[in-house]
Amino acid sequence: MYFVYILKSLKDGKLYTGYTNDLKRRSFEHNRGLIKITKWRRPFKLIFYEAFLNQQDTTAREKYFKTGWGRKYLKKILRNYFNKLPP
């Protein structure tokens, strides 16, 4: 099983999109600073994920989430999460 995931940096509030075959391990790696690109933005909170049976579908979904349409889609489906955040 493969996962597309969205992390929110608790330091700067920005989102990070990635994919993995082990969501628990990957989340741990991000929060421990073992991932070079996100090392300085930790800690992270996992706010969304989707599961897929093959890697090709997973990478296609990840690429979609990194487009303007994908970000708009995420804001739409997570609108209650984003609306409940303190100013």
Q: Which of 61, 79, 78 is nearest to 70 (CA)?
A: 61
pLDDT of the residue at 26:
97
Residue pLDDT, tens place only, 38-77: 999 999 999 999 999 999 999 999 999 999 999 999 999 9
Q: Which of 29, 48, 46, 45 is nearest to 37 (CA)?
A: 29
Q: How large is the average pLDDT for residues 25-50?
A: 95
Query: What pTM was computed for the model?
Result: 0.89
Fold category of 2-83 in CATH:
GIY-YIG endonuclease (3.40.1440)
Residue 86's pLDDT band, with cuts at 50, 70 and 90, is low
Angle at which helices 55-65 and 68-77 cross, to 10°? 90
| CA–CA distance, 19 with 2 (Å, rounded to integer) | 7
Domain residue ranges in the chain:
2-83
